[in-house]
Amino acid sequence: MKFSIIATSDIHGHTEHFSQLASMINDRQPELLIDNGDFLQGSHLSYFYENIQRCEHPQISMANALRYDVAVFGNHEFNYPLPAIEAMRNACNFPWIAANIQAFAKDYIIKDIHGIRVAVIGVVTHFTPLWDEGTATKSLHFEQAFDAAQKTVKHVRAHEQVDFVILCYHGGFERDLQTGHLIDLLEGENEGYRMLHEIDGIDLFITGHQHLEIATKINGISVVQPGANAKCFAQIDVTIEGGNINHKPTLVYVDDSLPSFTDAAFDKWKNEMIGESACDLQYSNFFTPRTMQTDYVQLLHDMQMHYTKAQLSVIELPYHQNGGFPKQITRKDVLHNLPRQNRLVKIEMTGAEIREALELSASVFAINTQDEIDFSMNVHYPQPHPFVYDLWGGLDYEICLRHPVGQRVVSCEYNGHEMQDNEIFSVVINSYRATGAHDYAMFHKNPIYETSEFVPKLMMAYIQKNSPIQTQVKNHFRMRK
């Protein structure tokens, strides 16, 4: 007897690719189909459906047509307010589970496949509330993912007469699966390695969140992580012979030549020109806008300060090799460069807190053996290091990477005088960063002002109003070796 299980994870609203995966999944007709979270959030199309079109996301109807059996909550499901999460859940013909969010979701489902009882348990990284800039998680209690997983596996083994147990974890691995070396901080965001080695009774372990592509077997357990953005799915073929259950995991990659989903209204909206630039707002090297003052970054600061009247502005660039705005700017250019759906918040910070934040930012980079600026993580591997780097507007400052971490900000002036520790400044920052995530506790403050609109919409309006865009660098900033 044979059956197959297919798992997707971290699709992030990449519906075009998902439509291709969907036809491949449909051809295979798996007996069990699971999504492991972060299903809709994160794409331009999802932005369009959430903010402009405001009707059911086409990816939900595709998932319903595929007859998914179950989906596991990911952290990004909680980027939406609770009523939106409820609406999504109601639109799905399959249950959403999470054993570590009590009173909100079911712990597991049981499916009978040709007489074989299969349990599918879901847990989500309990770091989820830390990244919540809204209020979705305020009324929910997230139990430690490891504890909830261990308890629930034990429960289904003892009480559900199951033959096959699948643990789905919207979280990843803190250690390399082969070597056991640390690949992340041991803080609990990712604890898949510990789950794999310390929880008895798992047959298949489905992970996600880190967007890795993994299909392997460890100590007889099939372990998968099906990448991200609908690039692939995991297929696990199960064979039962003489009471023995064998299983084999593989990754199946999307066939790009298959016809894919298109949406004429979305295409028209995103490709429409909303303004022009009269100066060079593009960059073609990852490090350029991060190591010197550029017109593009100035434009971002100008926009943030315009809407909030703050003295200082903090921005973080997406991890694109090249970016910025071309001469003719479309909505797509804005969404590509401002991918996060955040609001802007204005907070008050002391000079000492600002200096601390600057030092933390400056620690992200190091000098490699070719004497080039590189990520600390590349230079001091496997020392974990956050990839979180902010650029400040309204300050004149200089960072020297030859100085030890914590002493790299060599000058920091406001209006021509060295910033004093006890000076108070109003600072505009996006609401995600204001959660204090990634060790930036100094940003975790009660906002004195918050925009009601998301950053992409603010930027689009700013471009429309100020076209042709002519920015001028207002402050000195340099990161040197």
Query: What is the binding site for Zn ion (CB under 5 A)?
Result: 10, 38
DSSP assignment of 40-83 equals: STTSHHHHHIIIII-S--HHHHHHHHHT--EEE--GGGGGS-HH
Q: How far is the CB of 35 from Zn ion (least distance, A)?
A: 12
Q: How far is the CB of 211 from Zn ion (least distance, A)?
A: 6
Burial of residue 370, with CB atoms counted within 10 A of its CB: 0-12 exposed, 13-18 middle, 19 or more buried: exposed
Give CA 384 to chain center in angstroms.
Answer: 18
CB of 207 or CB of 291, closer to Zn ion: 207
Q: How far is the CB of 12 from Zn ion (least distance, A)?
A: 6
Place of tokens 């405001």: 54
CB of 196 or CB of 212, closer to Zn ion: 212
CB distance 114 to 123 below 8 Å: no
CB of 10 or CB of 191, closer to Zn ion: 10
Residue 272: half-sphere exposure toward Cβ, Cα within 13 Å: 10
> Quick one: the chain helix, strand, coil %, rounded to 5?
30, 30, 40
CB distance 344 to 307 below 8 Å: yes
Q: How far is the CB of 356 from Zn ion (least distance, A)?
A: 29
- Treating both helix axes as pointing N-terminal to C-terminal, what angle do 58-66 and 82-91 enclose, rounded to 10 degrees? 40
CB of 78 or CB of 462, closer to Zn ion: 78
CB of 22 or CB of 212, closer to Zn ion: 212
Task: Give the integer Cα–Cα distance in Å for 93 and 68.
Answer: 8
CB of 381 or CB of 387, closer to Zn ion: 387
Q: How far is the CB of 11 from Zn ion (least distance, A)?
A: 9
Q: How far is the CB of 8 from Zn ion (least distance, A)?
A: 12
Task: Give the integer Cα–Cα distance in Å for 364 and 216.
Answer: 32
Q: How far is the CB of 127 from Zn ion (least distance, A)?
A: 13
Burial of residue 364, with CB atoms counted within 10 A of its CB: 0-12 exposed, 13-18 middle, 19 or more buried: middle
CB of 47 or CB of 365, closer to Zn ion: 47
CB of 41 or CB of 304, closer to Zn ion: 41
Q: How far is the CB of 357 from Zn ion (least distance, A)?
A: 26
- Token pair, residue 128, equals 């989820």
CB distance 316 to 390 below 8 Å: yes
